[in-house]
């Protein structure tokens, strides 16, 4: 094992490698990327907790994140482990109910792209094609999350 530095990757490259954002044009990816910031977290550090305002959505660049779904401020035993390229924190794109429904905690040291949900919604309103593509992906993401939760 070497201690080579992780290659530098741009926010647009991160987005283009995800299923959620992968169908966007290069220009659209650049616009979304401009709303994001790369962050690092330590092992065991929470990214967000149940009940907190959902201001950002995230793309995992490196590491593993544990999602623990909850209700009434409590974590359930059900959840999922997220890996590179996974999108999470989708409640930031649901303005009528934008509170966290899960706790996201770093299982390992992590790097992720944080995207401002309010600004992304504004971009989606301005560019209806981008908005339609992302809302279609959001629908699939929510359905998949609920199916995984129900299946245990």
| 58-75 tens-digit pLDDT | 999 999 999 987 655 455
Mean of per-residue pLDDT scores for the chain: 87
Report the topology of domain 11-151.
Answer: Jelly Rolls (2.60.120)
How sure is the predictor about 101, in pLDDT bands with cuts at 50, 70 and 90? confident
How sure is the predictor about 143, in pLDDT bands with cuts at 50, 70 and 90? confident
Return all residues near 102 (Cβ < 8 A) that are at least 6 apart: 50, 67, 68, 69, 70, 75, 79
Domain boundaries, the chain: 11-151
Q: What is the mean pLDDT of residues 89-111?
A: 92
Asked if residue 139 has pLDDT above 70, the reply is yes
């Amino acid at each position: 094992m070497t201690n080579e530095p992780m290659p530098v990757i741009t926010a647009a490259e991160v987005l283009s490698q995800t299923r959620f954002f992968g169908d966007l044009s290069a220009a659209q990816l650049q616009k979304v990327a401009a709303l994001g910031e790369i962050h690092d977290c330590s092992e065991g550090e929470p990214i967000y907790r149940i009940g907190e305002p959902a201001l950002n959505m995230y793309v995992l660049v490196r590491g593993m994140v544990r999602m623990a779904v909850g209700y009434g401020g409590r974590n359930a035993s059900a959840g999922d482990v997220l890996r590179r390229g996974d999108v999470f924190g989708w409640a930031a794109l649901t303005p009528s109910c934008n509170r966290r429904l899960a706790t996201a905690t770093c299982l390992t040291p992590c790097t992720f792209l944080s995207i401002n949900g309010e600004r992304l919604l504004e971009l989606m309103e301005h560019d209806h094609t981008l908005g339609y593509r992302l809302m279609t992906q959001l629908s699939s993401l929510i359905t998949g999350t609920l199916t995984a939760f129900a299946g245990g």
